[in-house]
Chains A and B, each alone.
Chain A
Amino acid sequence: MPRVNPIDTEYFKDERKAGDFTVIGTTVQRSDALGHVTGRTEFFEDRTFPDLAHVKIHRSAHHHARIDSVDCSEALKVPGVLRVITHRDVPSNWYVVLRLIGIEPNDEPVLAEDRVLYKGEPIVAVVADSEAAAIEGAARVRVGYTELPAVFDVEEALAPDAPVIKQAGTNYFVYEGHHARRLRFGDVERGFAQSDRIFEWRYSSAPIEHAPTETTGCIVVPQSSGRLLIHSNTQAAFFTLDNTALILDRPFTDLQVKGGTVGGGFGGKVDVMVEPLACIAATLTNRPVKFVYTREEEMQVSSPRAAERIYIKDGVTNDGRILARKVMLYVDAGAYSRHSPYGTTKACAHLPGPYTIPNVYADCHCVYTNRTPSSAMRGFGVTIADFALESQMDRIARALDLDPLQFRLRNAYRDGDLKAHRKVAEGTALIEVIQRAAALVGHELPDEYLALTSTTPRGEKA
């Protein structure tokens, strides 16, 4: 195969087997592209069934409220409405998507019971002959509320006088008995005392919606064998199968998930939001059932990337060595856990960035607020932390009048360095990447920086 982008295989040559890298740099056609350009790729919604029923949801009108009453009588009168589904119809109503890897407690109801924690939270599902009847039915559900004080800010949610919104009793996820995922290495206070300068800044980001062109959805088809066949655009077929079976209280073998064709995901289709209710509706009506988000639902209630707030305090010598880094990081999980406890752990695992810093202290909080639950999105936990860390690096370099690349090279981690998590760094390659990037953009580096390699140990004093 001809190489379109020749790659430089001289780097780390001795660490690889001969014959590696035969594909990188060559053109390989996507296996699905012919289907895409001819319109033959089969997305979940491209299947039609003559007796297809549709699910639509009545959603919370408030950010935080007690539910006093739910009246479905008008919904049931709409011609074409087949069933309404409330939490009583959900065999195992409470879940957390990562429970099979030990995340607990189950903190989210499939359908709300006595309270709602975010605007748009599902309360009643309506199954109907047609999409229009389902929409009409969902609109006619009447819910009585008593509004409760809501909290929308991560730091306000942690204040002592904040309303506690979670039944577990804290507005934060508890990590092995602690209020945050913690990182402790060396002694930051001593590091700050030894430093010439202290720099402390705050970084924050807003939630980001994945906005896939194909909205989240599935079609569930009851099989003559009694199994349920789920055509889904999930990015996570096995999460979907496991969580759906647990919610249905049925053996995993009762379900079959057909997926893998995703019209844009970016992490937004891993939450298992539509399949459980579609399965319940299909079981109750014994008909194929479609549950697909409208564009409005995709934007309003599908989980976005978490908003984050990050404070970074660094102690630095005048010649650019970072001696201490303290990070206070807050992930806005929104109302429910979804993937955020894991995302926050990832954020913590990523600190203090790809730099060897002798003293590190971090508290990474997974905080609950009355906002739309956030969840996975491309590198979640890491992406925003990187934005903050690298902005911090640039600002410090500017403040000390140092070249930003030299400042990074000075602190770059190297193979053999002990990371703040007590792992020995290997395969770092950061130094070589910076050197090469500098050369490509014509950014000159002094000889002493060109002589650095990531495989040369840092030595005691560096």
Chain B
Amino acid sequence: MKIVSLRVNGAGQAFIARPGTTLLLALREQLGLTGAKRGCAQGACGSCTVLLDGQPVVSCLVPAVTVDGAEIATIEGLADGQVLSDVQQAFLDGFATQCGFCTPGMIMSAEALLDRNPDPTRDEVNEAISGNVCRCTGYEPIVSAVLDAAARRRSRAGEGAKL
């Protein structure tokens, strides 16, 4: 047993890591953040994707004891009150979600992509979400939503620069 202290969505948190616990289980069962999903528990589906120090990871394969001192971002931290992030809003407007089970992981992969590449090509979006399986929606609306989100972010940044 080890006490793990970390920051989750900007707030300080701590939990006791039982042997064998993954970051996914700690988030879901100990910190009450159930946005990240368990689709396979073997790193194959991407439903559990969160950002670990800014990088997308499949949290089902991250041992909880290794995240001491880390900065974690999950789907729950994206919206600012009622205001959705550009990626969330683009998924909503673009019908890029159906059952919704893959959606949190998909959105976190997209956020990570746009953080490092504000103007990705379609191929780069494909590459960024290649570890996220969606069985319902079809990837076309998802990829289009990510590109739409990128455009929204760029125009927002442009407005910011003008002020």
- A residues near B (Cβ < 8 Å) are 29-30, 32-43, 45-46, 48, 132, 210-215, 262-266, 294-295
Contact = CB atoms under 8 A, between A and B. Distances in A.
Contact of B39 (A37, A132, A213): A213
B30 to A, nearest CB: 9
B74 A213 contact: no
A265 B32 CA distance: 26
Contact of A264 (B36, B40, B91, B136): B136
A46 B89 CA distance: 23
Contacts of B135: 210-213, 264, 266
Nearest to B78: A38
Interface of B: 20, 28-29, 32, 34-42, 44-45, 47, 74-76, 78-79, 84, 88-89, 91-92, 95, 97, 99-104, 107, 133-136
A262 B98 CA distance: 10
Contacts of B45: 213, 295
A263 B48 CA distance: 14
Contacts, number: 98
A36 B88 CA distance: 9
A275 B29 CA distance: 22
Top-6 shortest CB links A-B:
A39-B35, A36-B100, A263-B101, A39-B75, A46-B34, A295-B40
B28 A295 contact: no
Given A37-B84, A46-B34, A263-B37, 17 more contacts: A30-B95, A37-B88, A38-B88, A39-B36, A39-B75, A41-B100, A42-B34, A43-B34, A213-B39, A213-B99, A213-B102, A213-B136, A263-B101, A266-B135, A294-B41, A295-B40, A295-B41
A263 B75 contact: no
A39 B34 contact: yes
Contacts of B102: 213
A214 B79 contact: no
B129 to A, nearest CB: 14
A32 B95 CA distance: 11
Nearest to A50: B29
A263 B29 contact: no
Contacts of A30: 95, 97
A42 B34 CA distance: 8
Contacts of B91: 33, 36-37
A39 B35 CA distance: 4
B59 to A, nearest CB: 13
Contacts of B107: 37
Chain A residues touching B, majority SS? loop
B97 A213 contact: no
A132 B25 CA distance: 13
27 contacts: A29-B92, A30-B97, A33-B91, A33-B97, A33-B100, A34-B92, A36-B97, A37-B89, A37-B92, A37-B100, A38-B78, A39-B36, A41-B100, A42-B34, A45-B38, A213-B135, A213-B136, A214-B39, A215-B39, A263-B39, A263-B99, A264-B135, A266-B135, A294-B41, A295-B41, A295-B42, A295-B44
Contact of A262 (B37, B79, B99): B99
A37 B111 CA distance: 12
Contacts of B42: 295
Contacts of B133: 213
Contact of B28 (A36, A41, A48): A48
Contact of A36 (B29, B74, B103): B103
Contacts of B29: 48
A60 B137 CA distance: 35
A213 B92 contact: no
A275 to B, nearest CB: 19
A74 B120 CA distance: 56
A264 B75 contact: no
A29 B97 CA distance: 11
Contacts of A295: 39-42, 44-45
A410 B37 CA distance: 52
Contacts of A214: 37, 39, 47, 99, 101
A213 B42 CA distance: 13
Contacts of B99: 36, 212-214, 262-265
B80 to A, nearest CB: 11
Contact of B134 (A39, A210, A213, A215): A213
Given A46-B28, A214-B37, A37 B101 contact: no
Given A213-B133, A295-B42, A48 B101 contact: no
Contacts of A33: 91-92, 95, 97, 100
